[in-house]
Amino acid sequence: MIVLETNRYATEMLPKTKTVWFDVTADDIMYFLALFILMGNVRKPKMQSYWSTDAMIATPFFGTVARKRFFAILKFLHFEDNAAAGNAANDDRLRKIRPVVEHLRCIFRSVFMPYQYVSVDEGLLLWKGR
């Protein structure tokens, strides 16, 4: 779904940009998401810093992935067809990512069903009272 919509959006937008593009595959999206998750663990001041070759701030793993390709995917990453989304109600704040949310919700429901007795540990909740 993400691959199809990203390629569709890139095809629509290519005449308006100078970005070099070739269609993404499922593997490309997986690498992209893996790098994005890794960026949450390794903090840098700018996104370009992840591909720096300076010994002081270099992160070797990012050098193995093409920076231009990452930023091209980031530019055209899409989850829903704009033509279909234009007819949808504008009050849905998640309308652009709704297909992904619904897909994940379906998968999560099929993987785990809560037991009869479920408890919430208060130690996990943020509380600033007395």
List, for residues 36-90, the tens digit of each pLDDT value: 999 999 888 898 889 988 888 888 888 888 889 999 999 999 988 877 766 555 6
Work out how many domains the chain is built from and give that number. Answer: 2
Q: Tell me the C-alpha to C-alpha distance, in Å, between residue 59 and each of 5, 32, 96, 105.
A: 31, 16, 32, 34
pLDDT at 85: 61
Do 59 and 34 fall within a single domain? yes
Amino acid making up residue 60 = P
Residue 14 reports pLDDT greater than 60: yes
Do 7 and 70 fall within a single domain? yes
Query: Which of 76, 80, 53 is CA-nearest to residue 64?
Result: 53
Q: Is residue 29 part of a domain?
A: yes
Do 73 and 90 fall within a single domain? no
pLDDT at 86: 62
Residue 124 reports pLDDT greater than 60: yes
- How many Cα neighbours within 13 Å face the side chain of 70? 17
Q: Is residue 120 part of a domain?
A: no
Q: Is residue 124 part of a domain?
A: no
Do 9 and 68 fall within a single domain? yes
Do 28 and 89 fall within a single domain? no
Do 13 and 72 fall within a single domain? yes
Looking at the whole model, is its pTM more than 0.85?
Answer: no
pLDDT tens digits for range 91-117: 778 888 888 899 999 999 999 887 888
Do 40 and 60 fall within a single domain? yes
Task: Identify the domain containing residue 86 by its residue range.
Answer: 80-110
Do 8 and 64 fall within a single domain? yes
